Structure formats: C-alpha cells, structure tokens
Homo-oligomer: A and B are copies of this chain.
C-alpha cells in the first residue's frame, strides 16, 4: 500500500484534493468555495459532518476554513490589512463573541527555528488585556465591554520536557478561559501553499500535526474548553517532496513496483528533514503581523463590533 509512507498534510483542502481527480463526492463532507478577485483570495469551507467523512479525510469532524492568498508572500504597505479584516471576520464567528469572553491565545512552536516560530511571533504583537480588566474592570480599557485576552508561549518538548498539552491544560484549568485560540506552523503537501494559506478550524490542533515535533492534540476533549486552531503551512516534509516527485515521474508504473522504488529513496533521514523557502524570515515576519492584527481586530471592542 502506498500508505507505508503516509504523505503528511495538516490542511483539510489538501486531504480533499486526493479525491478531486476522481471527481468523487465525499460522503459526510460538505465543501463550499468562494473567490474574491479584488483580494485574490480563495476561501474554502470544508465541513466534516459524519464519522465516515472524518475517516475519509483523516481529520476530526468540524469546520475548516482555508484562505489562500498568493499575495501574502509579497510585502505591501499595510501588512495585508485586507486579509486581516477577512480573517478577523471568520474568527469572530468561530469564537461566538456575543458576550464578553475570556480568550487564551497559545503560540505553539519553537521560536529558535524560523519556520516554526509563527506562533510565538504572533503572540508578540497581541493586545493583552486580561490583567487590566481584572484590575480595573472593563472601564479600565475605556470601553463598555471588553474581552479578556491572555497569551502563552509554552515552548516545545525538547526545551521543556513537558508535552504542550500538559502545560496548556494546567494553565487553562487555573485561569479558566472561555475559549482557546492555538496558533501553529503547519505542514503542507504542496510547496505552492507555503506561507500564503491560512487554515482556521473549530477542531483545534490535531494530534500529530506540525512538522517539528508532532504536537499532541489541543482540542475541547483534551482542554475542556473549545479550541480554535489557526495555522499556516510553513514547511513541507522532505520525504513528501521526494515521494511526490518520484510518483509523478513513475506514474505509469505498477503500484508494487512504485512502492519498491519509493522504499529505496524515501529514507528515514528524509523524514527528519523539512523543506522551506529561502526567504522564510521575511515572509514569516509579515505573516505573523497580518495574523496578530486579525486577532486584535476580532477581539477588540465588545459585542457592538461582533460580526
């Protein structure tokens, strides 16, 4: 089976592409696509509604919103405010901000590895309000209603010796936020999607996602509160790139023969490597700002501004 090497993707739009060429409708999965030409923004909403759909897609039931905006990798004057505005809208809906809420934003990943530093970098520009609201009340913010925003950068297991889930669960139990937003760098299957795709989901962070240390799941089941996952694919697994190239070149081979070739070439060493663009430093810097601005917009102000 081709599955000896499971090609990894954290993106629901990519899970779904497998079936596209066969023009199959996937049982239990509803897909809606739209395109805004002015922003060159394609939005795909994938709803996995049944357990069967979940098995087929290899992703838990829930809503997956994917924004694809090729321009995100191109610097502009205002850090792609048009994308921030759109993302803020989706966020407000998923967060159900119909009343004052307490929101913990978690920046997953390793700040010492450029393409894994998305989470920690987004946190750096967030407006944190929980301590002010707790001390002075909503009026301390000069607004009628305000959400309490807190943030955490838990680090990665090699640095802390603890699983991210343990750390976040402890902090959630102690500070009791209404909802968690978990920001993470993801693995895509296609290099074309790197750094210009944002995935937002109400299923949290899937167990095994991320390329760097296969995160434990962060979701309502493990944390006890709803978890919104917000991710951007910043890397492709090195094994995936080689796998796909070989598969493309050898597409006419018998599957068993193909497997043999793949087994030879896709070595364990390749699985411990990642692929990322050479300008990942510049792109991540812009991207993390686009995302932090979106979160700030979504969480700022009270019920009045909700979508």
Residues of A within 8 A of B (CB): 110, 112-114, 123, 128-132, 148-153, 155, 157-163, 166-167, 169-175, 191-192, 211-213, 238, 241-242, 245-246, 248-250, 261, 264-266, 269-270, 272-282, 285
Q: Is the CB of B151 within 8 A of A160?
A: yes
- Is A129 in contact with B161, judged by CB distance below 8 angstroms? yes
Q: In the bound complex, how far is the Cα of B161 from the Cα of A130, in angstroms? A: 5
Majority DSSP secondary structure for residues of A touching B: helix
A251 to chain B, nearest CB (A): 11
Q: Does A161 contact B128, Cβ atoms closer than 8 Å?
A: yes
Question: Which residues from B are CB-within-8-Å of A192?
Answer: 269
In the complex, besides A112-B285, A130-B161, 5 extra interface pairs with C-beta distance below 8 angstroms are A153-B155, A166-B171, A191-B269, A213-B278, A238-B238
What 8 A-B pairs have minimum CB-CB distances, sorted nearest first?
A: A130-B161, A170-B174, A170-B170, A150-B161, A112-B281, A128-B161, A170-B171, A242-B245
Copies per assembly? 4
Question: Is A281 within 8 A of B175, CB to CB?
Answer: no
Indicate whether A158 sits within 8 Å of B174 (C-beta atoms), given known contacts A245-B245, A264-B248, A278-B272: no
Q: Which residues of B contact A278 (CB under 8 A)?
A: 113, 211-213, 272-274
* Known contacts A159-B151, A281-B113; A173 and B175 CB within 8 A of each other: no
- With a cutoff of 8 Å between Cβ atoms, the chain B residues found around residue A148 in the complex are 161
Cα distance A173–B282 in the bound complex, in angstroms: 29
Measured between beta carbons, the chain B residues less than 8 angstroms from A266 are 245
Please judge, given known A-B contacts A112-B114, A114-B114, A212-B278, whether A158 and B128 are in contact too, CB under 8 Å.
Answer: yes
User: What are 10 A-B contacts defined by CB distance under 8 Å?
Assistant: A129-B161, A149-B161, A151-B161, A158-B279, A166-B175, A191-B270, A192-B269, A211-B278, A241-B241, A276-B276
